[in-house]
Amino acid sequence: MRVVVFSAKPHDRDFLPVACADRHELVFHESRLSAATVPLAAGAEAVCLFVHDHADATILAGLAKLGVKHLALRCAGFNNVDLAAAAQLGLGVARVPAYSPHGVAEHAVALLMTLNRRVHRAYNRVRDGNFALEGLLGFNVHGKTVGIVGTGKIGLCFARIMHGFGARLLAHDPVPNPEAVQLGAEYVALDRLLAGSDIISLHCPLTPATHHLIDATALARMRDGVFLVNTSRGPLVDTAAVIEALKSGKLGALALDVYEEEEGIFYEDLSAAFVPDDLLARLLTFPNVLMTSHQAFFTREALTSIAATTAGNLDDFAAGRPCANAVKA
């Protein structure tokens, strides 16, 4: 089956062909899927998309006219796809529901500990010959209360690590995870978690109900000096609100691997240009903000898993059999 891969990066060219093992003809394009790039899918039965590719009703109709029958998402999120329109057009959609939850959870911990112990600042200081300790004071995670919003696979992995640190665990999820309870996690209402946590880590999906889950109201309920970590979805956090909370000192530190307006910025090299987003540029001026560019998933194990699952989904599409990872409206 001919598959056009949009938003292709070098790692996609390394891992996807190995997983597909010549079962599918892969055509790679660095361009994101948009109204302007739909023609690149001519002659393909399937397209392979990533988080910043657009697949609204108009674009899907354009793909269908070209003969595309399937959309294989090499990511877990699917809010960039109009599922109702896909169903009307008879387009199959499948995703990668889980890949290396350990990698994402470990990255969240890495962000937390880097900020807490000022490792990034110490690294630069020492390289400049400054071996002073002033400004590098951190705290023990042991004995602190860690609030975990979302206790699916990634949230559970994060909970296990925090349990290993000796932290007290508060959790919030519509469906409590028995394994988190066994770790000693106490499930509470979101307001109680916000008010009672020293550290808050977000691991929930993006839905209409969770959009700007962390807004000015939520921030006001938090303890002064709280550490907030988001390795889940950018729009969970109201950027303007967290900037105000950083300025006032309500937020002690902010660690982000995602950003609500990251499209067109993350995964791009802007070092010779400028950051076109004013709120993002403002965030980057705070010494107590640490940001990575949606790399929490970026481990060898995760890329292998993503490629294998994507290849399996394509195999199901090609064989005309039900796909276990199908996504429907």
Instruction: Report the pLDDT value the prediction gives residue 77, as an integer from 0 to 100.
Output: 85
> Residue 52 in contact with residue 7, Cβ under 8 Å?
yes
CB atoms within 10 A of CB 130: 11
pLDDT of 29 strictly over 90: yes
Mean pLDDT over 23-40 rounds to: 97
Residue 68 predicted with pLDDT over 90: yes
Q: What type of residue sits at position 172?
A: H
Q: Which residue type sits at 256?
A: L
| Share of the chain residues as helix, strand and coil, in percent rounded to the nearest 5 | 40, 15, 45
CA distance 216 to 212: 9
Domain residues of the chain, as ranges?
2-99+300-319, 101-291
**Exposure on the CB side of residue 18, measured as CA atoms within 13 A:** 11
For the segment 114-139, what is each residue's pLDDT rounded down to a tens digit?
999 999 999 999 999 999 999 999 99
Pick the CATH number of 101-291 from 3.50.50.60, 3.40.50.300, 3.40.50.720, 3.40.50.2000: 3.40.50.720
**Cα separations in angstroms, 202 against 85, 225, 255, 259:** 30, 17, 11, 13
The neighbour count for residue 93, using CB atoms within 10 Å, is 25
Query: What are the b/e assignments for 272-282, b being 16+ CB within 10 Å?
Result: eeeeebeebeb
Q: Which of the residue ranges 22-26, 74-78, 254-258 would you say has the lowest mean pLDDT?
A: 74-78
Among positive and negative, which fits the CA dihedral 112, 115, 116, 118?
Answer: positive
Amino acid at 93: V
The DSSP symbol for 214 reads: B
pTM of the shown model: 0.91
Secondary element (H or E) of residue 149:
strand 145-149
Q: Do 2-99+300-319 and 101-291 fold alike per CATH?
A: yes
Q: For the chain, give the percent of residues with pLDDT over 70.
A: 100
pLDDT at residue 79 in the model: 87
Summary mean pLDDT of the chain: 96
pLDDT tens for residues 173-220? 999 999 999 999 999 999 999 999 999 999 999 999 999 999 999 999
Q: How far apart are CA 317 and CA 322, in angstroms?
A: 8
Q: Which two tokens stand for residue 126?
A: 């020492």
**CATH number at 2-99+300-319:** 3.40.50.720
- Rounded Cα distance, 240 and 117, in Å: 26
Alpha helix locations (H) across the chain? 10-20, 57-65, 83-89, 101-116, 119-127, 153-165, 178-182, 190-196, 216-221, 239-248, 278-283, 300-319
Active site residues: 233, 262
CA neighbor of 48 nearest in space, from 312, 329, 324, 322: 312
Count Cα atoms within 13 angstroms, Cβ side, for 224.
3
Q: How confident is the model at residue 98 (pLDDT cuts 50, 70, 90)?
A: confident
> Please, what's the b/e burial string for 9-31 (b: 16 or more CB within 10 A of its CB; e: otherwise)?
eeebeebbbebbeeebebbbeee
What is the band of 267 on the pLDDT scale with cuts at 50, 70, 90? confident
Put the strands of the sheet holding 226-230 in their side by side order: 186-187, 168-172, 145-149, 199-202, 226-230, 251-256, 289-291
Confidence of residue 160 (pLDDT cuts 50, 70, 90): very high
